[in-house]
Amino acid sequence: MSPAAFVTRFAPSPTGYLHRGHAFSALTACQAARDAANEGLSGRFLLRLEDIDATRCRPQFEAAIYEDLAWLGLHWEQPVRRQSEHMADYGAALRDLSERGLTYRCFRTRREVAEAIESAPHGAMEAFRGGPLPADEEEARVEAGEAYAWRLSLDAAERALGGFGALTFDEQGQGPNGKHGVIQARPELGGDVVLARKDVGVAYHLAVVVDDALQGVTQVIRGQDLFAATHVQRLLQALLALPTPAYRHHRLLTGPDGKRYAKRDRAETLRDLRASGMTPQTLRAELGF
Ligand code: GLU
């Protein structure tokens, strides 16, 4: 009998250099795959490049991801999946949802979306809920060549599934307040998320659920900053009849100023640490590996 599958991934976007927070995330995922292998599971660690946004991704950041992760002592399977090479997969998933009436074209600008959220009855915290335009107006705007995004219609999704009550996921790490175990997904908190951006043709949530399924990912290991994303992604998995992996959200590292590491803090990139003479052993030990 083949060993039970344990497949996890690290999925950075090549829009900047990796920092300590990325190192922690990648080490956590890689270590989990190794632990699984030691327990007799298949224990695979994948690297995926989330490079759908051609305007922000740069080849030098992609090259640096490979260099930095290798420097850290990580090994990942080949070939690396680059999302930009798989737009047809995301297009097929979008078409599937659209043909079932679960999406609508959204012509609003960012500012218009922000204004719509602010004027919603429950105030500024409300996530965006829109809906399709009247058919004749939509047709006229498409014909006029106006750009539009595709959004998921939560109302249509709720009708299609008969409610969101059955949408749960297994949290094996630390959700908000350290919660773990079976968690009820609340996709309504995300609003009508964008599935395909005006400029890019796909958007983050859709690409992630399609890839996690196609790559056979059984455990998503990533930072708590993506906890809200999991609720949305759980809904997309249900709508696309994709398997739901287990989730392990890990704590976020904070710098000396108490703020979490972000790409803009250039001083904390792995390549700068390396240039300053830090060894991978020191960094791994600092991060608890
Ligand atoms: N590409 C995302 C990021 O860099 C991570 C996506 C994920 O782990 O699902 O934050």
Q: Which of 252, 208, 213 is nearest to 231 (CA)?
A: 208
The whole-number pLDDT of residue 177 equals: 74
The whole-number pLDDT of residue 261 equals: 79
The whole-number pLDDT of residue 258 equals: 80
The whole-number pLDDT of residue 31 equals: 97
Residue type at 197 in one-letter notation: R
The whole-number pLDDT of residue 116 equals: 84
Residues with CB under 6 A from ligand 1: 11-13, 50, 208, 222, 226
| Residue 222: partners with Cβ closer than 8 Å, 6 or more residues away | 11, 25, 29, 248, 249, 250
* 254 alpha carbon – ligand 1 mean position (Å): 18
What is the Cα–Cα distance from 104 to 99, expressed in whole angstroms? 10
The whole-number pLDDT of residue 133 equals: 95
The whole-number pLDDT of residue 90 equals: 98
The whole-number pLDDT of residue 96 equals: 98
Beta bridge partners of 171: 181, 247
* 89 alpha carbon – ligand 1 mean position (Å): 18
Ligand 1: nearest atom to the Cα of 229: 9
| 289 residues of the chain, pLDDT tens digit each | 678 999 999 999 999 999 999 999 999 999 999 999 999 999 999 999 999 999 999 999 999 999 999 999 999 999 999 999 999 999 999 999 999 999 999 999 888 888 888 877 665 456 899 899 999 999 999 999 999 999 999 999 999 999 999 999 999 998 777 788 999 999 999 999 999 999 888 999 999 999 999 999 999 999 999 999 999 999 999 999 999 999 999 999 887 778 887 766 656 899 999 999 999 999 999 999 9
CB 187 within 8 A of CB 62: no
Q: Which of 228, 234, 245, 249 is nearest to 179 (CA)?
A: 249
The whole-number pLDDT of residue 1 equals: 67
The whole-number pLDDT of residue 263 equals: 67
Nearest 5°: CA angle at 91, between 167 and 229? 35
Ligand 1: nearest atom to the Cα of 12: 4
17, 211, 220, 222: which to mutate for ligand 1, most atoms within 8 A of CB? Answer: 222
